[in-house]
Amino acid sequence: QVQLVESGGGLVQAGGSLRLSCAASGRAFSSYAMAWFRQAPGKEREFVAALRWRGDNQYYGDSVKGRFTISRDNAKNTVYLQMNSLKSEDTAIYYCAADSSPWRAVPTTRRSEYRDWGQGTQVTVSS
C-alpha cells in the first residue's frame, strides 16, 4: 500500500495556473504508474493524466490536453500536475492515484486499475 497526500490546490482566476503535488510513501513509488483524476460536484470522477513508472509515456484526458502536464520525481517520491490556462470547468477536487500493478508498460486511464488514492485537493477556478 502507498499513502498519498496532495497539495497545491486553491482559488485561481480563469487563465491562471496552479501546480499540484502528490507526496507518496509506502511501497516502491518508482515502480508504479501514477495518475491524476478529478471530480466535480454531481459528476463522476474522471481521468485527467497519467504517466509511466519511468516518467515517460504521459497520457491526458481530452479536456486538458495542451494545458496540463504531469511529471514525477522518483527521488522525491512525488508526482506533479502543472495546470495552465485554467477554465471554470476545471473546478473540481483533484486526486492522485497509484497503479495497482508495477512496471506496467502503458499507464492505464481506468479508475478501477488504481489501488491507492489521496484525500484530494480542491481547485476552484473563478471566471
First CA to last CA across the chain, in angstroms? 39
Better-predicted residue by pLDDT, 116 or 1:
116
20 sits in which H/E element: strand 18-26
- pLDDT tens digits for range 8-35: 999 999 999 999 999 999 878 899 999 9
3 state SS of 29: helix
**pLDDT at position 26, please?**
82
Alpha carbon of residue 3 to chain centroid: 14
Can you tell me which residue has the cell 517520491?
Answer: 77
Nine-digit cell at 56? 515517460
pLDDT at 55: 87
